[in-house]
Structure 1
Amino acid sequence: MIAALKRYFKKDLIPLLADLRLAIVLLLVIAVFSILGTVIEQGQSLAFYQQNYPEDPALFGFLSWKVLLISGLDHVYRTWWYLSLLILFGSSLTACTFTRQITALRWFSRTWNFYSKPRQFEKMALSTELDTGTINQLTEFLEAKRYKTFHKDDTMLYAHKGLAGRIGPIVVHASMLIILLGAMYGAMTGFFAQEMVPSGNTFTVQNVFDAGPWAGPQIPKDWSVKVNRFWIDYSPEGRVDQFYSDLSVLDDQGEEVKRKTVWVNQPLRYRNVTMYQADWSIAGVRVKINNSPILQLPMAPIETENGGKLWGTWVPTKPDMSAGVSLIAQDLQGTLLVYNEKGELISTVREGTSVEVNGVTLSVPEIIGSTGLQIKADPGVPFVYLGFGLLMLGVVMSYVSHSQVWALQDGDKLYVGGRTNRAQVSFERELVAVLDELSDGDGADTPKELVTS
C-alpha cells in the first residue's frame, strides 16, 4: 500500500502539480477572486450588506447579501477555499521548482564535464574548428570577456558567465512561495477593527470586524491608546481639508510609550499594529445654563435626505425639563444652530460664546469631536514585502544570459563550441570576436566560420 502511494505520488501527482497549465489556471482563478475581494467591501456589518446588496433586485441578477455571506465573499482572503487555492498553487510552484528548476541546476553541474572528443562539438549550437591557437590563449581572451574558466589536462577547457540567469527562475519561484506563505500567515493571524473615540478619551481595541482564527495574540491587551486631541482643518470654502488625531500609546501602567499625530495616509505603528485616520464625528457638546456647572451632552447623528452630516442634542432650559432647545451642528468649525420646540431656528451660537434663549443664558464652552480610527495588524506583510523584493531581483537575474564555451586541443586542431540560453545573436557575435582575436594574436588567418546546428 505504501509503495503504491509512493509510486502514485512520484509518477502521477508530482507531474500533475508541476504542469505549467495547472499553475496558469490556478493563478488566473486566484487573480479573479482577489479582484472580487477588492471590489466587494470586506468585513462590513450585516446591515451594510443588506442595504447595498439587496435580494430584490439582486446585483447582476444573483449577487445578493445572502450569496455574499454564504460564499464568504465578504471575507474572501480568509475563506477556506481561497486559502486552499493558495496552498494548491504553492504546491504547484514547489513541484515545478524541484522537478524543473533544481533539476536544471543539477544538469548544469553535469555540463562541467569536459569534452574530450571532437565529435562532441558537432552537437553544440555553435561550433568551429581552428588550425591555430592554444587553450591558454583562448583562456586569456575569454577571461577578458568576464568568463570563468576551468581546465583539465591542459587540453580541455570549460568557461561560463551569467550564472545568475540560471538561478533567476529559482529565485522567482522561491519569492512567489514566500509571498503565498506571507499572505496565508497574515490571513490566519491578522485582524481589522474600527473605533470611534471622543477627543480626550482612552480606549482599547474592542470593535473587531474581521479577524483570522489565530489573531488572538495580535489584538492588544496590555496597552491602550489615548486620543489627546482631535481637530479638523477646513479650506476657505468651508470644506474639510484634513483631520488629525494626536494619539498616545499607554502601557498597562498608564505610562506613555509612544506619541504621534496621525492623519490620512500617515498612520501610527506600534507592535505590528497600525492605526489609520479614517473618519470623524461629533461626540458631544459642553454647555452651561446661567451659572450652572458645565454639562457634557452627547450628540447623535441625524439622517438627512441629501446624505449630509448633521448632529443634534436637546438642552433643557428649565430645572424640571419641561422646556428646552435643540442644538444642531454640521461640523467642528464651532457654529451651532439653536431650534425651539416647534422646530424653528431661533438663534446661532459659536463655541466659546453664549446666547439668550427661553429667558436663560446658554453658553457653549466646547464642541467635542470624535476620531474614527481603522486598526489593523497583518503579520504577513514583512514576508510579502520580502517576497516581492526577491521577485524583482529574480526577474532581473532571469534576463541575464548564461553563456557556456567548451574547447578541446587535439594536436594542431583547436575545437571550440558554445551555447547560451538567450540572446543567441549577441553570443554568436561575442564568440566570433574572441576567435578573431585568437587568430589575429597568432598571426594566422581568420578561423573557419561558426557552424550553427
Structure 2
Amino acid sequence: MEENENSKDWVDRIWRAFSSMKMGLALLGIIALVSGIGTLIPQSEQDPEKAKAVGQLWQTLGLTHLFSTVWFRLLLGLLCINLIVCSLQRFRGIYRQTFKLSPPSNLARVPQKNRRVVKGEGTVLRESVQEFLKQKGYRFMFSDQSDQWSFTAIKRRFGNWGSFITHLSFVVLVLGALLGSVLGFKGYFMEGAGKTFPIQGIELSKGNVSETFSVRINSAEDRLLPNGERDNWYTDMSILENGQEVARKTLSVNHPFNYKGITFYQANFANGAHFTADMNGQKTPVVLREQGQNYFQAPGTELYLIATTIMKTSSSQKAGVLYQVYKGTGAEPVQSGQLTSGQTIDVQGTYRLTFDGTAGFTGLQVKKDPGVVIIWLGCALLVGGLLLAFYWQPVVISGILIPENGTQGTLTVGALSGKATSSSHDALEQFVNYVAN
C-alpha cells in the first residue's frame, strides 16, 4: 500500500513538473541558446571543412553537428512532453467553455468586471433577450428556477481553441523535426554522364540511407541561351530497381525530382570529358572532371590520367581537352598534351586512349525528410490557432433575473471576451440598449 502511494506521489510530482509553465519557458530558453551557438559554430552539414577546423573538444560535444545530437533531440522531446501535458490540463476547461456553458445560478456567477443592470417586466425582458441573441447569432441556454430565470450565450465559441491549437502546433512541429532528424538523411554527389551508382554510395552529411536502388546519370548539360546567357543546368537521371529503370526525369535548378520520398535537387555543374581506354583489347569508358578533380588509374599500373582543361565546342570546331598523365607519386606529369574529339593516343605504351567528346558532371543534393508533411501540418495549425486567438475571440453574455414586486424584476447581466475587453464592453452595451428599449 505504501509503495503504491509512493509511486503515485512520484507520478504526481513528474506531472506537476511537466505541467509547469516555468519549465516550458526554461526549455525554450535553453533551446534558443543552444540554437544560437549552432549559428556561430560551423556545422558539418553546411560547411564540412570549417567544421573540421573547430577544436576537438567542441566536436566531441557535438557542437559541429548540434541539431542531430542525442542531447538536442532530448531537449526537443522534453519540450514536446511539456507542451502536451500543459495542453491536456487545459483541454477540459476549454471544452466546457465551448460546449458546456451553463446559466448562472446566482449573482456571484455573473461576470463582475463588465456588468450592467436592467429593470422591467420579467416576461418582456426574457422575450427581448431571446430576440437579441437570435439576431446577433449567439448560441444560448435558459434556466428557470421557481420565481427567477437565468441565461448564458456565446458567440464565436471556437475562438476558445485558438491558444490550444497554437500550443498543439508547436508539438506537431517538434515531432516533425524529430521524425525528419531520426529517419531522414541529407547527402550530395557529383557524377558524370553515363555513371550508375547505388544511392547508399552518396556522401552523407547526416542520417543513414536504408534504400537500395541505384541512380544512373543519363546526361548532364549546361545550356546557354542564344544571347550567351545561361539558361539552366539540366540532369537527365534514372532510378534503377534490380537493374530495371523504374523512374526517369530531367531535373534542373528549382525543378527537383522526387522518388519514394527522396528528393534530388540540382546544386551545381562541372565540365568533363569522355574517353575510351583500350587496354589489350578491353575497352573501358572513362569520364573525367575538368581541373583534375578526379582521375583514371589504368588497371595494374601506376599511371594516373587527369583532364586539366575542356575546350568549348562551336559549330566549326571540334571539342578539345588538355590532359596529363602522372606515374606513382611523381609531382611532374610523364605525358601531357591536347586531344580533339575522335583523336586516339598511346599512353606510355600501356594502353590507347580515345577522346570521345565533352561530358557534363552534375552535382545533386539528395534529401529525405519524412517529417516535412508533419511540419507543414504544424505550420497550418499555428496559423489557424493564431487567427482564432486574435481574430475570433469568443464573447459570452450571461445574466440572471431576480423578481421584484410580482411581475417586475431586475436583470443583472455581464459579458466576457477573453483579453479583448473592448469586445465584451461593446457587446454588453448593444445588449442593454436593445433589451432596455
TM range (shorter): 0.7 to 0.9
Q: What residue is the counterpart of 1:70 in the other structure?
A: 60
Q: 1:150 Cα deviation (Å)?
A: 1.1
Measured against aligned partners, the alpha-carbon deviations of 1:205-253 in whole angstroms (never above 9, x if no partner) come to 11352454xx5xx6321x3222111011247897866321011223325
Q: 1:302 Cα deviation (Å)?
A: 4.1
Report SS of the residue matched to 1:410: strand
Tell me the matched-pair count: 403
Q: What residue is the counterpart of 1:20 in the other structure?
A: 21
Pair 1:116–1:129, CA change in 2 (3 A): farther
Q: What residue is the counterpart of 1:449 in the other structure?
A: none
CA distance in 2, matches of 1:302, 1:8: 66
Q: Would the aligned equivalents of 2:196 and 2:216 in 1 still touch at CA under 8 Å?
A: yes
Q: What residue is the counterpart of 2:152 in the other structure?
A: 158
Q: 1:85 Cα deviation (Å)?
A: 0.2
Q: 1:389 Cα deviation (Å)?
A: 1.0
In structure 1, give the amino acid aligned to 2:43: E
Q: Would the aligned equivalents of 2:270 and 2:289 in 1 still touch at CA under 8 Å?
A: no
CA distance in 2, matches of 1:210, 1:311: 21
CA distance in 1, matches of 2:241, 2:324: 45
CA distance in 1, matches of 2:5, 2:383: 41
Q: What residue is the counterpart of 1:429 in the other structure?
A: 426
In structure 2, give the amino acid aligned to 1:409: L
Q: What residue is the counterpart of 1:405 in the other structure?
A: 397
Q: 1:116 Cα deviation (Å)?
A: 3.4
1:242 matches 2:237: no
CA distance in 1, matches of 2:99, 2:277: 90
Q: Would the aligned equivalents of 1:202 and 1:224 in 2 still touch at CA under 8 Å?
A: yes
Q: 1:78 Cα deviation (Å)?
A: 2.2
CA distance in 2, matches of 1:41, 1:416: 61
CA distance in 2, matches of 1:348, 1:236: 29
CA distance in 2, matches of 1:204, 1:311: 19
Counterpart selection for 1:371 from 341, 362, 368 = 362
CA distance in 2, matches of 1:237, 1:28: 54
Q: What residue is the counterpart of 2:187 in the other structure?
A: 193
Q: How large is the Cα RMSD of the aligned pairs? A: 4.0
Q: Which moved more, 1:119-128 or 1:155-164?
A: 119-128
CA distance in 2, matches of 1:183, 1:81: 14
Which aligned pairs between 1:169-318 and structure 2 lie closer than 5 A? 169-205=163-199, 206-212=201-207, 215=208, 219-221=210-212, 223-234=213-224, 242-254=232-244, 256-286=245-275, 296-299=285-288, 302=291
Pair 1:204–1:356, CA change in 2 (3 A): closer
Q: 1:118 Cα deviation (Å)?
A: 4.1
Q: Would the aligned equivalents of 2:399 and 2:413 in 1 still touch at CA under 8 Å?
A: yes
Q: What residue is the counterpart of 1:306 in the other structure?
A: none
Q: Which moved more, 1:232-241 or 1:158-167?
A: 232-241
CA distance in 2, matches of 1:272, 1:34: 27
Q: 1:397 Cα deviation (Å)?
A: 1.1
Q: Would the aligned equivalents of 1:284 and 1:296 in 2 still touch at CA under 8 Å?
A: no
CA distance in 2, matches of 1:326, 1:156: 92
Q: Percent identity?
A: 22
Q: Would the aligned equivalents of 2:18 and 2:82 in 1 still touch at CA under 8 Å?
A: yes
Q: Would the aligned equivalents of 2:116 and 2:414 in 1 still touch at CA under 8 Å?
A: yes
CA distance in 2, matches of 1:122, 1:264: 61
Q: What residue is the counterpart of 1:148 in the other structure?
A: 139
Q: Would the aligned equivalents of 1:44 and 1:209 in 2 still touch at CA under 8 Å?
A: no
Q: Would the aligned equivalents of 1:178 and 1:386 in 2 still touch at CA under 8 Å?
A: yes
Pair 1:196–1:120, CA change in 2 (3 A): closer
Q: What residue is the counterpart of 1:41 in the other structure?
A: 43
CA distance in 2, matches of 1:122, 1:248: 69
Q: Would the aligned equivalents of 2:44 and 2:51 in 1 still touch at CA under 8 Å?
A: no
Q: 1:52 Cα deviation (Å)?
A: 5.7
Pair 1:219–1:241, CA change in 2 (3 A): farther
CA distance in 2, matches of 1:6, 1:81: 28
Pair 1:349–1:398, CA change in 2 (3 A): same
In structure 1, give the amino acid aligned to 2:426: R
1:417 matches 2:414: yes
CA distance in 1, matches of 2:27, 2:135: 46
Q: 1:270 Cα deviation (Å)?
A: 0.8
Pair 1:407–1:16, CA change in 2 (3 A): same
1:138 matches 2:129: yes
Q: What residue is the counterpart of 2:329 in the other structure?
A: none
Q: 1:21 Cα deviation (Å)?
A: 2.8
1:336 matches 2:321: yes
CA distance in 1, matches of 2:415, 2:56: 64
CA distance in 2, matches of 1:52, 1:234: 36
Gaps of 5+ in 1: 55-63, 304-309, 316-320, 441-453
Q: 1:93 Cα deviation (Å)?
A: 0.9
Q: What residue is the counterpart of 2:106 in the other structure?
A: 117
1:94 matches 2:84: yes
When normalised by structure 1's length, the TM-score is: 0.75
Measured against aligned partners, the alpha-carbon deviations of 1:244-270 in whole angstroms (never above 9, x if no partner) come to 10112233251x332221122321101
Pair 1:295–1:234, CA change in 2 (3 A): farther
CA distance in 2, matches of 1:422, 1:74: 44
Q: What residue is the counterpart of 1:7 in the other structure?
A: 9
CA distance in 1, matches of 2:151, 2:262: 58
